[in-house]
Amino acid sequence: YRYVIEQGKSMPSLNEALKVPATKVDGCASQVWLHISISGNTFRFEGDSDAVIVRGLIALLRSLFNDLNLSQVSAVNAEAELARLGLNEHLSSQRSNGLRAMIQRIKETAAGAQS
């Protein structure tokens, strides 16, 4: 858990100009923004939250998804990867729901860019 918080503290903040309704993720207890960019076939995103633990979760998701090609993004089982870290037992149901909402936004955006 401490590792996740440290990851969140070390992650750069999202530019305020990118914190707009289009980048806001619904379904999270905290405010969360994901700015996704696709260059060619390469997926990248940056994000931010007003909660340090959620910033840490965003940092972990970035390590899982950034710089993958679009088909690889679809193939990542983020829930399983994060479960290996033992996060499930430390996250509240609201945080888990928010994490799923972030993963869903990432995967839907990548899938939409593929079609």
- The order of strands in the sheet holding 32-39 is 32-39, 42-49, 68-69
Distance of CA 114 to the CA centre of its chain: 19
Question: Choosing from 11, 28, 78, 99, which is the catalytic residue?
Answer: 28
Active-site residue flag, 70: no
Q: What share of the chain is helix, strand, coil (3-state, %, to 5)?
A: 55, 15, 30
Active site residues: 28
